[in-house]
Structure 1
Amino acid sequence: NVVKISYQRAFYKIPGLPAEDFPSIADDQDIQLEKIKGSIIKELINKTAFAMATDETRKNLNGVLLEAGMDGSNHLLRMVATDGHRLALAKGFTSEPSLKIGKGIIIPRKGLMEVKKIIDEQEDIYIGLHKNTFVVKTEKTLLKVGLVDADYPDYKKVIPTEKGFSVTLERESFLHALKRMSVVSSERYGGVILSFAEGKLTLNSTNLDVGEATEEIDIDYKGEVVDSGFNVNYMIDAISVINQDQIVFEVGLGLKPSLIKQAEDDNYLCIIMPLKI
């Protein structure tokens, strides 16, 4: 198991490993694959990957949970990601029976990003499971990703069952205001305070090293004045992946989590923990 390379007056020996130790690529016939639109998987990844934990020691959170099941008479795939401070959940509907994956599988971050790279949204792809691997087949590529052998937290317990109040916002104007707030933010001062008052929402971000930013946008709100603080980048991440004109912001009171979702359907939501203000 040594590779020898020589050229003129140079000579190298590079140790190798036995070829039989390399993971075998199973033949197509050995894997039960199911057809799905590439756009569905890509959208699931786009709407959840930002919430994965970056700490590789937390291996069960350093990836996404993929579940399959039914929603009424429709087959669906559900993808979930969380880093402990926020949680993103997205659903995609398929015409074919969903994968039989029991309590769900955890696809690691690196493997998930490779899956995203090989998918063409305009094409159908095939997905399946083979032993402890997630298999994706495109017209040109067969990719096998080893799964994370760990338990994923019960994310359903995190989804708020009670909300302080709900407000519908114009996605574009709110997102652009948040991005302008982020100009004065930093790793140390990354918060934005949202002040809800009758007919308006005031955004404020203060950074002792850079300065202060304040903006107001019109909203349909008639309740009491409420102040909530959030990580501005978490807010931007959650809203950027929505492709609808309006969002619904369910604001938790005090230190209870808040929820951002699409106005037209319930195929996506993001839960964000507030900051102390």
Structure 2
Amino acid sequence: MRITLERSNLLKSLNHVHRVVERRNTIPILSNVLLRSDGASLEMKATDLDLEITEATPAQVEQAGATTVPAHLLYDIVRKLPDGSEVRLATNAEGTAMTVASGRSKFSLQCLPQSDFPDLTAGSFSHSFRLKATDLKMLIDRTQFAISTEETRYYLNGIFVHTVENKGELKLRAVATDGHRLARADIEAPAGSEGMPGIIIPRKTVSELQKLLDTPDVVVTAEVSDAKIRLTIGSIVMTSKLIDGTFPDYQRVIPAGNDKELRVDCQSFAQAVDRVSTISSERGRAVKLALTDGQMTLTVNNPDSGSAMEELPVGYENDPLEIGFNAKYLLDITAQLTGNEAVFMLADPGSPTLVRDLAADDALYVLMPMRV
């Protein structure tokens, strides 16, 4: 293989694919990125056996071929080369080494044969649909903070995506929960998504996908089966296994009878929570909200370091109520709200609270209270 390409193009594509590669691998080939040159492009592929990302970038191909080299090492080399430079990649006759040359710099990397590189065979997909990158990014941004990190309940370690009938319209819905909070977001269901199986997209896939959806006007093609999802974003193709498990019936935890309405200015509320929680301990991040007519008092007590209190004018016209929440969870939710005002629907100090965004009725959040 002998090719020449722009450093900026090579770096951009390597940046997308090398993140999939784990730093520590017991299987040497999984530390490598597959490079395959053909026609007028270089195709790169990386995998961890659960997630695979492929991207093609323009290149001048003198001699077609394929090999695999250490992914993080190649990325670091290209990253440190000067801006605007050209990079020449060439393998030796035996295919055991690849030269990376640019200007006066020259590196030689050990290769492993491309025949050893695993292929995440996709199989056939039952449903295929197209949606705007902005819509998909919105679904992810509004829900991914609530994904559980508890490995024992593995079926909560991702975002549950499915279609659902809502007010006579078919919606594509994303839901995530860790048992303490729940986030739900809807978009209009794209054509072709009708009847698709409910799927759980793993946390790592969600995280990588979020980074790839940085071009707003791109249309993403999604292909779904019971076991895998394939997403095509421009020249990038991401294939991922899905979590094999049953997502719990989340509708049961969304409260319907909460009748105490609290309206707060999002920014003022978030800043107040952030200030008083400075005093809280890492282990118990509880903040107490004491509500009376038109006013909220936020308090935090930490036996080791002291206490904090702040008052805030709010829209509240019900019986006085004291309820505690995890400060981090409150800040996570308010960070997703797009409007100036948030609505909390409360019941009592021990029941889940519903949070709505006044500017976006296609998202809702549920937060479990803490004892304070």
Match of 2:309 in 1: 214
How many Å separate the matches in 2 of 1:2 and 1:216?
58
Q: Which moved more, 1:232-241 or 1:130-139?
A: 130-139
Alpha-carbon shift at residue 161 of structure 1 (Å): 1.6
Alpha-carbon shift at residue 162 of structure 1 (Å): 1.3
Q: Which moved more, 1:167-176 or 1:262-271?
A: 262-271
| SS, match of residue 272 in structure 2 | helix
| SS, match of residue 157 in structure 1 | helix
Aligned residues: 269
Contact 1:48 1:79 in 2 (8 A): yes
Q: Which of residues 337, 351, 357 in structure 2 aligns to 1:256?
A: 351
| SS, match of residue 209 in structure 1 | coil
Contact 2:128 2:221 in 1 (8 A): yes
Q: Which of residues 113, 138, 142 in structure 1 aligns to 2:237?
A: 142
* 2:146 corresponds to 1:33: no
Question: CA distance change for structure 1 residues 2 and 144 in 2, over 3 Å: closer, same or farther?
Answer: closer
Q: Which of residues 210, 219, 235 in structure 2 aligns to 1:116?
A: 210
| Structure 2: tracts of 5 or more residues without a match | 1-26, 30-94, 98-109
| SS, match of residue 160 in structure 1 | coil
* 2:204 corresponds to 1:107: no
How many Å separate the matches in 2 of 1:2 and 1:76?
43
How many Å separate the matches in 1 of 2:28 and 2:269?
60
Q: Which of residues 84, 102, 121 in structure 2 aligns to 1:24?
A: 121
* 2:276 corresponds to 1:177: no
**One-letter amino acid matched to 2:331:** I
Contact 2:266 2:342 in 1 (8 A): yes
What is the TM-score when the length of structure 2 is the normalising length? 0.66
Question: CA distance change for structure 1 residues 131 and 80 in 2, over 3 Å: closer, same or farther?
Answer: closer
| SS, match of residue 316 in structure 2 | coil
Q: Which moved more, 1:16-25 or 1:121-130?
A: 16-25
How many Å separate the matches in 1 of 2:307 and 2:340?
29
Question: CA distance change for structure 1 residues 93 and 73 in 2, over 3 Å: closer, same or farther?
Answer: same
What is the TM-score when the length of structure 1 is the normalising length? 0.87
Match of 1:56 in 2: 151
How many Å separate the matches in 1 of 2:184 and 2:301?
31
Residues 148-178 of structure 1, C-alpha deviations (whole Å, 9 max, x = no match): 1101111000001211511121111111111
State the percentage of identical aligned residues.
29
How many Å separate the matches in 2 of 1:36 and 1:198?
45
**One-letter amino acid matched to 1:227:** E
How many Å separate the matches in 1 of 2:259 and 2:288?
17
Contact 2:163 2:189 in 1 (8 A): no
Match of 1:44 in 2: 139
Residues 214-236 of structure 1, C-alpha deviations (whole Å, 9 max, x = no match): 11111122322210011010111
| SS, match of residue 60 in structure 1 | helix
Match of 1:245 in 2: 340
Higher relative contact order (CA 8 A, sep 6+): 1
Alpha-carbon shift at residue 124 of structure 1 (Å): 1.4
* 2:244 corresponds to 1:154: no
Contact 2:353 2:367 in 1 (8 A): yes
Alpha-carbon shift at residue 100 of structure 1 (Å): 3.1
Alpha-carbon shift at residue 95 of structure 1 (Å): 5.0
**One-letter amino acid matched to 1:241:** Q
| Structure 1: tracts of 5 or more residues without a match | 7-12
Question: CA distance change for structure 1 residues 131 and 225 in 2, over 3 Å: closer, same or farther?
Answer: closer
How many Å separate the matches in 2 of 1:72 and 1:88?
19
Alpha-carbon shift at residue 99 of structure 1 (Å): 4.8
Residues 133-161 of structure 1, C-alpha deviations (whole Å, 9 max, x = no match): 11111111111110011011110000012
| SS, match of residue 47 in structure 1 | helix
Alpha-carbon shift at residue 76 of structure 1 (Å): 1.9
How many Å separate the matches in 2 of 1:2 and 1:71?
49
| SS, match of residue 240 in structure 1 | helix
Contact 2:127 2:193 in 1 (8 A): no
Q: Which moved more, 1:73-82 or 1:151-160?
A: 73-82
**One-letter amino acid matched to 1:105:** I
Residues 35-91 of structure 1, C-alpha deviations (whole Å, 9 max, x = no match): 101111111111111111112232101111101134345442111111111111111
How many Å separate the matches in 2 of 1:135 and 1:20?
19
Alpha-carbon shift at residue 20 of structure 1 (Å): 8.2
